[in-house]
Amino acid sequence: MKNYALFFLLASFFQTPTQAQSTLQATIVDAGSKEPLVGANVLIAELQKGGSSDAEGKIVLEGIPDGAFELRCSYLGYREAALPLSFPADDGALFTIELEPEGEELEAVTVSTTRSSRQIQSLPTRIEAITAEELGEQAAMNSANIAMLLKESTGIQVQQTSASSANQSIRIQGLDGRYTQILKDGFPLFGGFSGGLSVMQIPPLDLHQVEIIKGSISTLYGGGAIAGLVNLITKQPGDSPELNFMYTQTQALGSTLNGFYSQQYGRAGLTLYTSGHYQKAYDNNADDFTDLPQTKSISINPSFFYRFNETARLRIGLNTSFENRWGGDASLIKNG
């Protein structure tokens, strides 16, 4: 009786059913070049089983139970591919999965160029742009004028032309200041010798960008642009209102207050910039001659915008500056 019981126990042990296990082998390649794709992701979602292809684009998944599944393969820059599988019928088969490149549509970019290739060092003109971020940093350091901003650009010198009034002129590539044209939004701001005074009268707070062309461009802008030009591009109304105030004071007895406001009203918009600067006569070395003249200046620059459509816009603006300077004999200035 004991022998029969032992026989049935052993029979039931060896007849315990086991679940079949299958193996998947695949190679992931580019559909066009047939080159293997390294690091492609393979996943059987129903089993949460997957992996990545090796240096030869191959992958092996083991321990797959019998049944029908869907194999998904993905790779950066390629369309995802799906492959139906059935086990044990596909057990041990070597699959080749071809992935199609996925095109990415970018924004349209317009590039203007000449038909002949040239080296950079042989180009007659160089173009440099000073962005809004740099303008903001310079405005915090000197909000009264753009002299410090231009000094940091290579190939440009801001030279003082008068000891009494402290006027300054822009010299590009060593040429005199009268050969440098200053524009604001593409229109001449000052011409001839008055350009020396303009550097001291242009504050940077309402500027969005500064474009500098270093080299002769007189064919487009006349004899005043033989050395180059500086184009000051002002801010325009954005989607949200903008209001900025800045007050600075220096150890040389100078104070500057700037304000900027812009807002869009549907198709219409406006910007308003105001600036006031006061500089006391400053004699640093006590020689009775002013190193900085006594200056009182006010600037008011309103602009109105109207957008007819995406390509047509009307702008009406006014640039006004009132300034008085007294420099030279410090005792005469002090006594009025």
Domain boundary among 234, 265, 288: 234
Select from 255, 274, 258 the least CA-distant residue to 321: 274
Render pLDDT for 252-302 as a digit per residue (tens, 0 to 9). 888 989 899 999 998 999 999 999 989 999 988 888 899 889 999 998 999
Looking at the structure of the chain, the number of domains it has is 3
Q: Supply the CATH number for residue 78's domain.
A: 2.60.40.1120
The whole-number mean pLDDT for each consecutive block of 10 residues of the chain, a chain of 336 residues, reads 46 48 87 90 87 90 86 89 82 85 69 56 74 78 74 82 80 84 81 54 82 84 83 88 89 89 93 92 88 90 92 88 87 78
On whether residue 112 sits in a domain, the answer given is no
One domain, residues 220 and 151: yes
On whether residue 329 sits in a domain, the answer given is yes
One domain, residues 137 and 154: yes
At 5, list the tokens: 């019981």
On whether residue 222 sits in a domain, the answer given is yes
On whether residue 174 sits in a domain, the answer given is yes
Which single residue is written with the structure tokens 């816009």? Answer: 313
Residues contacting 297, CB < 8 A, separation 6+? 201, 275, 276, 277, 278, 321, 322, 323, 324
Render pLDDT for 139-184 as a digit per residue (tens, 0 to 9). 767 766 777 778 778 888 888 888 787 778 888 888 888 888 888 8
Distance in angstroms (rounded) separating the CA atoms of residues 46 and 66 = 12
Q: Supply the CATH number for residue 169's domain.
A: 2.170.130.10
On whether residue 285 sits in a domain, the answer given is yes
Where do the DSSP E strands lie in 120-205? Answer: 126-130, 156-160, 168-172, 180-184, 187-190
* Phi, psi for 127 (deg, rounded to 5): -115, 130
- Mean pLDDT for the chain? 81
Domain boundary among 184, 205, 234: 234
One domain, residues 258 and 294: yes
Predicted TM-score of the model (pTM)? 0.58
User: What is the domain range of residue 35?
Assistant: 21-99
